[in-house]
Amino acid sequence: MPELVLPTERLAASFTEAVREFLAEGRGGRDDRTLLGELMRTAGPPAHPGPWFARVLAFERALTDDPPPGFVPSTTHWWAEGDAYLGRINIRHRLNDHLREVGGHIGYDVRPSARRRGHATAMLAAALPRAAALGIEKALVTCDTDNTASRKVIEHNGGVLEDRRGRKLRYWVPTAPAH
């Protein structure tokens, strides 16, 4: 059964394969303003685990205490089953102006070969209590207006649409069950 884990050397080979999948679909370029895109540009092209993967882990771990310029402190968890990396979810500890408009408290990616199996829905559900533990009562989660799959993930987890801003839909998702 998949679970949230902190970034770990144990998943080096599988994570490397996943990054190659993301690159094949065009992720990681200069116009990819996502956290995954930033990680891919910072670590450089995937190589066999070693120095490249050490840069990946350093990037993921620095997000909490020393995030890159323009980013807020956040915690990244990887969604894994055994030694298989399936995706990642990032919980931002607070919002800045950009995140309030476009990115929200939580962002996630599922590797292309693992999509359409319910991983994003389960990963978001597993991350919500962790957001609550950070003091986030309702998490802002956004998606592109044409991303039907992500919209369904958010709504399945209790997301309530607040509005549309440009190409983004903005939802508020409770982080703890209602009493």
Q: Supply the range of the domain harboring residue 60.
A: 3-174
Name the most confidently modeled range: 69-73, 88-92, 100-104. 88-92
pLDDT at 179 over 70: no
25 in any annotated domain: yes
26-40, 52-66, 102-116: range with lowest mean pLDDT: 26-40
Query: Where do the DSSP E strands lie in 71-165?
Result: 74-81, 84-92, 106-110, 138-144, 160-165
54 in any annotated domain: yes
pTM to 2 decimal places: 0.93
36 in any annotated domain: yes
DSSP bridge pairs for 84? 81
Please compute, for residue 123, the number of CA atoms within 13 A of its CA located in the half-sphere on the CB side.
30
Share of the chain above pLDDT 70, in %: 98
Count Cβ neighbours within 10 Å for each residue of 41-64 and write b for 16 or more, e otherwise: eebeebeebeebbeebbebbeebe
179 in any annotated domain: no
* Amino acid symbol at 119: H
pLDDT of residue 34: 84
Q: What is the pLDDT of residues 115-150, one digit of tens each?
A: 999 999 999 999 999 999 999 999 999 999 999 999
Q: What is the pLDDT of residues 76-85, one digit of tens each?
A: 999 999 999 9
Kindly report the CATH number assigned to the domain that includes residue 102.
3.40.630.30
115 in any annotated domain: yes
99 in any annotated domain: yes
Over residues 2-24, the mean pLDDT reads 95
Using the structure block, give the residue that is written with the tokens 């549309």: 164
| Selection from 109, 115, 113 nearest residue 14 by Cα | 113
